[in-house]
Structure 1
């Protein structure tokens, strides 16, 4: 991910990742960051 617009939640991927994804015919997707959940 190159950058993200917080208001629209639009993600812009880097040129390298975009070219890589087009070469392998895949669609990159973003996910929410991992949050560890501990029990006490």
Structure 2
């Protein structure tokens, strides 16, 4: 079951990229539905 999640980011977004990489590799059964950034 894929869960939809929201991600809060600041700075360069390196944590968001790490999450996206893990999703693409199949380690996290998630779908990023929204991203909120301070930039």
* Both proteins in one fold, TM over 0.5: no
Say which structure is richer in helix.
2
Q: Could you tell me the TM-score, scaled by structure 2's length? A: 0.32
Indicate the structure whose relative CO is greater, using CA pairs within 8 Å and at least 6 residues apart: 2
Q: Could you tell me the TM-score, scaled by structure 1's length? A: 0.31
Q: Which has the larger radius of gyration?
A: 1
